C-alpha cells in the first residue's frame, strides 16, 4: 500500500457518505421490525364451544440467543467411534424441536397447572404431547414452529410430502 496517497479535498468538492454509512439507520433498534406472533390451528379436535371452529394457538419467534441456549441444553458430547480421545457435539433433534415448540408457544399456556392437571400430566412438554396426541398433529405443529422461527423445510421433506 502506498503511503503517499493524496487524500486532500478541494474547497468546491463535497464529501458524500458511502451508502453503507447512510443506511446504518436501518439497523438501529427502533427501526428494526419485530416478528409478529402467528396464529395456527394445531388440531381440529380442540374447538371453541361458541363457534365450533378450531381454537388457534399462538406461536412466537424466539430470539437467536434463546434458540442457542435451547440447542445447548439438547446437546451432549459424544466420543467418536474411530478415535477414543476425540469428541463431537451431538444435538438430540427431537428433544430440541420439543423444547423449541414448548418455548415458542404463547397460547395455550403449556405451564398452566390446571390444564396439566386436567390431562393428568406434569410439565409443558408432556402437556403438548397430550394436546396433540393424534397422528401427525405434533409433527405438523413442530414444523409450523420451525417455520415461524425462520427454519425452512428441507427439499427431501418437501418431496416426501408431495408424494403423499
Candidate from 10-14, 80-84, 95-99, 151-155 with smallest mean pLDDT:
10-14
pLDDT digits (tens, 9 = 90+) for 53-75: 999 999 999 999 999 999 999 98
**pLDDT tens-digit series, residues 75-109:** 888 877 877 778 777 888 899 999 999 999 999 99
Q: Which residue has the higher pLDDT, 81 or 40?
A: 40
∠ CA 146-148-151, nearest 5°, is 45
pTM of the model: 0.74
The Cα 50–Cα 81 span in angstroms is 58
Annotated domain spans of the chain: 37-163
Cα(116)–Cα(121) distance, rounded to whole angstroms? 5
Task: Give the residue, 103 or 34, on which the prediction is more confident.
Answer: 103
DSSP 62-96: PPHHHHHHHHHHTEEEEE-SS-TT-EEEEE-HHHH
Q: For helices 137-148 and 124-131, what crossing angle results, to 10°? A: 120
Residue indicated by cell numbers 363457534: 51
Angle formed by the axes of helices 137-148 and 93-104, to 10°?
70
Question: What is the share, in percent, of the chain residues with pLDDT greater than 70?
Answer: 79
The number of C-alpha atoms within 13 Å of 90 and in the hemisphere containing its C-beta is 8
Give the pLDDT band (50/70/90) at residue 12: low
**Which residue is associated with the grid cell 394457538?**
57
Please give the pLDDT value at position 11: 57
* In CATH, 37-163 is 3.40.50.720: no
Quick one: which of 159, 97, 81 has its CA closest to 132?
Answer: 97
Amino acid at each position: 500500500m502506498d503511503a503517499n496517497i493524496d487524500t486532500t479535498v478541494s474547497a468546491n468538492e463535497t464529501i458524500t457518505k458511502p451508502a453503507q454509512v447512510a443506511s446504518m439507520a436501518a439497523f438501529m433498534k427502533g427501526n428494526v421490525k419485530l416478528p409478529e406472533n402467528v396464529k395456527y390451528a394445531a388440531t381440529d379436535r380442540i374447538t371453541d364451544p361458541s363457534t365450533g371452529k378450531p381454537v388457534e394457538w399462538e406461536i412466537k419467534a424466539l430470539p437467536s440467543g434463546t434458540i442457542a441456549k435451547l440447542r445447548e441444553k439438547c446437546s451432549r458430547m459424544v466420543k467418536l467411534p474411530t478415535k477414543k480421545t476425540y469428541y463431537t457435539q451431538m444435538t438430540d433433534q427431537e428433544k430440541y424441536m420439543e423444547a423449541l415448540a414448548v418455548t415458542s408457544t404463547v397460547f395455550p399456556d403449556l405451564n398452566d397447572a390446571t390444564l396439566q392437571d386436567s390431562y393428568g400430566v406434569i410439565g409443558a412438554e408432556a402437556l403438548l404431547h397430550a394436546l396433540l396426541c393424534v397422528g401427525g398433529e405434533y409433527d405438523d405443529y413442530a414444523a409450523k414452529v420451525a417455520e415461524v422461527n425462520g427454519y425452512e423445510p428441507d427439499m427431501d421433506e418437501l418431496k416426501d410430502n408431495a408424494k403423499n
